[in-house]
Amino acid sequence: MTYRTTIAAAASAGVCALALGAAAPAAMAAPERAQDKGMVSVFHGIPGMTVDVYADGDPLLSDFKPGTVTEPQALDAGTYDIKVFEAGKGPDGKPALEKQVKVTEGGNATVAAHLSADGDPQLTAYADDVSAVKSGEARLTVRHVAAAPAVDVRAGGQPVFKDLTNPKEDTTSVEAGTVNADVVLAGTDTVAIGPADLNLKEGTSNVVYAWGSAQDKNLALATQTFDTKDMKSGAAHAGIAPNSSAGWLNWVAAAGAVTLTGVVGARLAAGRRD
């Protein structure tokens, strides 16, 4: 397994649809959000590199640090040419990563810059499920975006997600409250992460990112928390923030430092491509 400490050749530039438009519940068409917009967040999960992000040649994020996730912001629906540069080297140079991303009306999505299982930088777009959960429950999603092998995620010693590989995700609804969880190598009882407590509040949709490189011992955790009640009531954003209180900070503590940085409040303002 190889790992590049600098972001290497550009990723293939296929169109990646953030397809929540047709499936999004009517409640997501908030009064504060025009019908021709989608909500987009960005997660930076490539260690050792501060970057600038551009959309259609316009600044989207600057000095974006690893382990950071932005708050969701409204963007005009349309297709954007997303380019990622080492900080200060854009927008006229060769991008380190590039991909066309389609923002869908009424959609909610996160674009993640991360390492593949083999350590190659890439961009992946995920649809964020912010639909309502049942009373007394919370939603838990785990996204494997680390240069690491397949894993199982357990709660109370029982597998919740099995054989999760990069860049896949899995999701489930659980009883709200504190969940004691750990991560083991797929198909084994060999604990790689935890055990740790994860606080899942009622009515929230929680996303946990496993990012970094196992080989370089810099695996780290970042989380998003969407308040589905706020989304239903028409809030402009879901209030994403790192869950620094979660016991998941034990993520491979014996193997390397855990990085969990604050929210970037940068405004996602970019020109629309129709």
Instruction: Report the pLDDT value the prediction gives residue 183, as an integer from 0 to 100.
Output: 77
Q: Is residue 255 part of a domain?
A: no
pLDDT beyond 70 at 85: yes
The pLDDT tens digits for 145-158 are: 999 899 888 888 88
User: Measured between alpha carbons, how far is 91 from 86 in angstroms, rounded to an integer?
Assistant: 10
Domain count, the chain: 1
Average pLDDT, the chain: 74
Q: Is residue 260 part of a domain?
A: no
The pLDDT tens digits for 168-208 are: 999 999 999 988 877 778 999 987 777 778 889 999 999 98
Q: Is residue 257 part of a domain?
A: no
Its pTM stands at 0.73
Cα Rg, the chain, nearest whole Å: 18
Q: Is residue 263 part of a domain?
A: no
Query: In terms of residue numbers, what domain contains 134?
Result: 15-250
Q: Is residue 258 part of a domain?
A: no
Q: Is residue 151 part of a domain?
A: yes
Strand runs labelled E in 78-201: 78-86, 97-103, 108-115, 121-127, 137-147, 151-155, 158-164, 169-175, 177-185, 191-200
Query: Do the Cβ atoms of 118 and 1 come closer than 8 Å?
Result: yes
The pLDDT tens digits for 62-84 are: 999 999 999 998 999 999 999 99
Strand runs labelled E in 27-107: 37-45, 51-55, 58-64, 68-69, 73-76, 78-86, 97-103
Q: Is residue 184 part of a domain?
A: yes
Q: Is residue 52 part of a domain?
A: yes
